[in-house]
Amino acid sequence: MDPSNDPDQLGLLMRAAQDGDSSAYLRLLKEIAPLLRRAVRQQRKFLQPSDVEDLVQEILLSLHAVRATYDPARPFLPWLLTIARNRVADGSRRQMRRTANEISVAEYPETFSDAETNVLETRYGDPEALRQAIGQLPPGQRQAIEMLKLREMSLKEAASASGMSVAALKVAVHRGMNSLRKALSIEA
């Protein structure tokens, strides 16, 4: 039977994961990822697929952090969905805070017509170029930039998630930023 259709089975897998069974934990996380994707899409219908994925990852990291709170005597799905709902609500609050001070305009007003005053915008204002430049980085540097700069994880969290040491992450992110600066200044 598909465990994602059987909450008791998911509870048993979580119980085994709490006891240190990594294959049970892997199976559990794989089973619940589609459930979480569905739950996030249901709650936030207007999200882009990449944003949905970000939230799913956020929920998985949170679940991992508080997995000791699961009581095998209690049902698994309400436990999981409470965490999911909470993280989705936090995500909405974060987004509202971010967009509260943003004003959508078709064109940015120019304070001075001189090209020098607009150098910073033209140089760093192309997200597509940045995305491509990140894509061309070596895997280690790309992973470090993604986790520390884009996902804003702490060094400790990133080290735990990637298996790299904190020092290696610092070096990788420093080199990655230098490479990005070079790549973007050449393109500009």
What tokens were used for 78? 């309400």
**Structural contact between residues 13 and 30, judged by C-beta atoms closer than 8 angstroms:** no
Q: Which one, of 44, 23, 131, 39, lies nearest residue 77 by Cα?
A: 39
What tokens were used for 126? 């192309």
Residues at the contact surface with another protein, assessed by CB under 8 A:
17-23, 25-26, 29-30, 33, 53, 56-57, 60-62, 64-72, 74-75, 78-80, 82-83, 86-87, 90, 143, 146-147, 154, 156-157, 160-163
> What is the smallest separation between the CB atom of 113 and another protein, expressed in angstroms?
43
Beta carbon nearer to another protein, 53 or 126: 53
**Structural contact between residues 60 and 36, judged by C-beta atoms closer than 8 angstroms:** yes
Beta carbon nearer to another protein, 79 or 179: 79
Answer left, alpha or beta for residue 20, where phi above 0 means left and psi between -120 and 50 means alpha: left
Beta carbon nearer to another protein, 125 or 138: 138
> What is the smallest separation between the CB atom of 20 and another protein, expressed in angstroms?
4
